[in-house]
Amino acid sequence: MRQCKADYGIDAPGVVRNFFLISLSLLMLSIFSFQIQSALWFWIVFLYSFFTFLPLFATGCWMLYGTKIAKPKIALKIIQNLKLTGNEKLLDLGCGRGILLCEAAKHLPHGKVYGIDLWSSKDQSGNRPEKTLENADREGVKERVSIHTGDVRFLPFPDSSFDVVVSSLCLHNIQGKEEREKSLLEMLRVLKPGGKFAIADIQHAKAYAEFLISQNANVEYSKTNYSYCPPLKIIEGRKL
C-alpha cells in the first residue's frame, strides 16, 4: 500500500487567508463598479479596486507557492549544502511540522535528528508535535526523529552534543535583538567544535552573521532567495 505524502501545512495561514479574502472583496467591488451610472465614479472605483486586487492576490499566490513548492526545495538545498556523512546527530531549532527535520533524517540513515519547538499555529497551520511525528512516519524516518517542546533560547541539551544545528524561519519570531542572540549562543553551545550550522530566515540575516562572527564562528550567507515570500537568506557556517 502506498504511503500518504507528508503534509507540512501553510506558513502564516492567517496572513495568506487575509490576502485572499481582501483581494476577493476588491475583485467583487471592481465587478460591482459596472453598475455605477456615473462614468467618473465608475473609473475611480474600478481602477482602485481592480489594481489593488492584483498585487494582493499575487502576493497570496506567491506565499502559497513559497510554502508548498519552494520551501521543500530550499530544505533540500540546505541539507545538501551541509555535506552530511550520514551518521551525524542533528538539531532543528523551531522544527514546526518537520519539513527540514525530515529532509535531514533522509540524509542520515545512521544518525539521529532532534526537533524543538513551541508549536505556534499562528506561524504554521496545525503546528503541533503529533503532526511532526506523523510527517516523519509518512516520510519513513520516524525511528530517527526525536521531538521536544521548548524555547530555543534555553535548549535542554548538554554542551557540544550535536554535530549539526539547523533552523528555518524560526528566529525572527523572537522579539528583541538580545533575545535572538541568546538563541544563537545556545546554538553554538550545543554544537561540537567544528560542528556545522545553517539558518534560513526572512529577517535579521546580516545581524545573525555579524553576531556569529563576533563569537569566532566561520560564517557565509547566500544571496536573497525570492522563491519564498517574504524572500529569505540562508546563513551557513561552522563553529571553530
Provide the CB-side half-sphere exposure for 113 (13 A, CA): 30
Q: Is the pLDDT of residue 167 over 90?
A: yes
How do the domains of the chain map onto residue ranges? 13-65, 70-239
Q: Is the pLDDT of residue 4 over 60?
A: no
Distance CA 229, CA 206 (A): 18
Q: What is the average pLDDT value for the chain, to the nearest integer?
A: 95
Distance CA 155, CA 100 (A): 19
| Grid cell digits, residue 124 | 504554521
Q: What's the pLDDT score for residue 221? A: 86
Distance CA 95, CA 83 (A): 20
Percent of the chain with pLDDT over 70: 98
Q: What's the pLDDT score for residue 194? A: 97
CB atoms within 10 A of CB 21: 12
Q: How confident is the model at residue 202 (pLDDT cuts 50, 70, 90)?
A: very high
Distance CA 238, CA 215 (A): 11
Q: Which helix (H) or strand (E) holds 201?
A: strand 191-201
Torsion of CA 57, 222, 8, 131, to 10 degrees: -140
Overall average pLDDT of the 81-91 stretch = 97
Nearest alpha carbon to residue 11 among 56, 67, 69: 67
Q: What's the pLDDT score for residue 5? A: 85
- Which CATH superfamily, name and number, covers 70-239? Vaccinia Virus protein VP39 (3.40.50.150)
pLDDT digits (tens, 9 = 90+) for 102-111: 999 999 999 9
Q: Is the pLDDT of residue 2 over 80?
A: no
Distance CA 228, CA 148 (A): 27
Q: Is the pLDDT of residue 3 over 70?
A: no
pLDDT digits (tens, 9 = 90+) for 33-83: 999 989 999 999 999 999 999 999 999 999 999 999 999 999 999 999 999
The answer to whether the CB of 110 falls within 8 A of the CB of 98 is no
DSSP class of residue 124 equals: B
pLDDT digits (tens, 9 = 90+) for 127-155: 999 999 999 999 999 999 999 999 999 99
| Grid cell digits, residue 42 | 465608475
pLDDT digits (tens, 9 = 90+) for 204-216: 999 999 999 999 9
